[in-house]
């Protein structure tokens, strides 16, 4: 997994004000696939400055989280309410998804997101809120591909991300 927030903070193209903006909130990671997510997500450590920030701003909040983006993921409902199976060619996992939950609420419900899904429930990407200390993944957003004949890239995901942060492209503040 690539820590996009840290990568942007270390980029020489990122201004000081953007770096300060990137210190606030949760870090965003990009996983190559589900196998990459399952291997690295449990190893995520929250930096001390973020622990202090959480403690001072969110005294009632009992969890630290990170955002993880998974791309080209299949999703299926299970027999349990609000529990979904995600899968790709590298593996599968079970995740919680509920728009109406007070603590782990998603940006939209599965039914709302599913209205745009075709191709047997394959989505473009899934944004997961990963609760670090409890190892709990919750889906908070899902978007579908606009086309289904996407050709695999020859470069690895890490190489494609490094190309995004080349000298000629300014880094946005997330």
Whether residue 28 is contained in a domain is answered as yes
Token couple for 146 = 């606009």
Whether residue 171 is contained in a domain is answered as no
Token couple for 138 = 């919750």
Query: Per-residue pLDDT for 9 more than 90?
Result: no
Query: Per-residue pLDDT for 152 more than 60?
Result: no
Whether residue 6 is contained in a domain is answered as yes
Whether residue 15 is contained in a domain is answered as yes
Whether residue 174 is contained in a domain is answered as no
Whether residue 11 is contained in a domain is answered as yes
Token couple for 31 = 């996983």
pLDDT confidence bin for 34, thresholds 50/70/90: very high
Whether residue 69 is contained in a domain is answered as yes
The pTM assigned to this predicted structure is: 0.73
Dihedrals phi, psi of 141, to nearest 5 degrees: -160, 150
Torsion angle in degrees (nearest 10) through CA of 71, 90, 105, 58: -90
Token couple for 42 = 């449990």
Task: Quote the DSSP letter at residue 8.
Answer: H
Q: Is 23 exposed, middle or buried (0-12, 13-18, 19+ CB in 10 A)?
A: middle
Domain total in the chain: 1
Whether residue 35 is contained in a domain is answered as yes
pLDDT confidence bin for 170, thresholds 50/70/90: very low
User: How high is the pLDDT of residue 148?
Assistant: 46
User: How high is the pLDDT of residue 63?
Assistant: 65
Instruction: Tell me which residue range forms the domain holding 138.
Output: 2-164
CA angle 97, 76, 117 (to 5 degrees): 90
Token couple for 30 = 């990009």
Beta-bridge mates of residue 39: none
């Amino acid at each position: 997994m690539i820590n996009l927030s840290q990568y942007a903070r270390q980029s020489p193209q990122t201004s000081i004000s953007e770096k300060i903006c990137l210190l606030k909130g949760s870090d965003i990671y990009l996983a190559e696939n589900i196998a990459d997510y399952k291997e690295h997500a449990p190893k995520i450590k929250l930096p001390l400055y973020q622990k202090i920030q959480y403690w001072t701003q969110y005294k009632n909040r009992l969890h630290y989280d990170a955002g993880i983006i998974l791309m080209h993921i299949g999703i299926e409902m299970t027999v349990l309410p609000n529990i979904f199976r995600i899968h790709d060619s590298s593996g599968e996992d079970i995740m919680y998804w509920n728009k109406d939950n007070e603590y782990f609420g998603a940006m939209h419900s599965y039914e709302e997101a599913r209205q745009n899904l075709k191709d047997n429930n394959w989505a473009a990407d899934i944004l997961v809120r990963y609760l670090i200390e409890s190892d709990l993944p919750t889906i908070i957003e899902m978007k579908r591909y606009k086309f289904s004949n996407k050709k695999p890239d020859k470069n690895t995901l890490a190489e494609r991300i490094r190309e995004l942060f080349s000298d000629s492209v300014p880094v946005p503040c997330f």
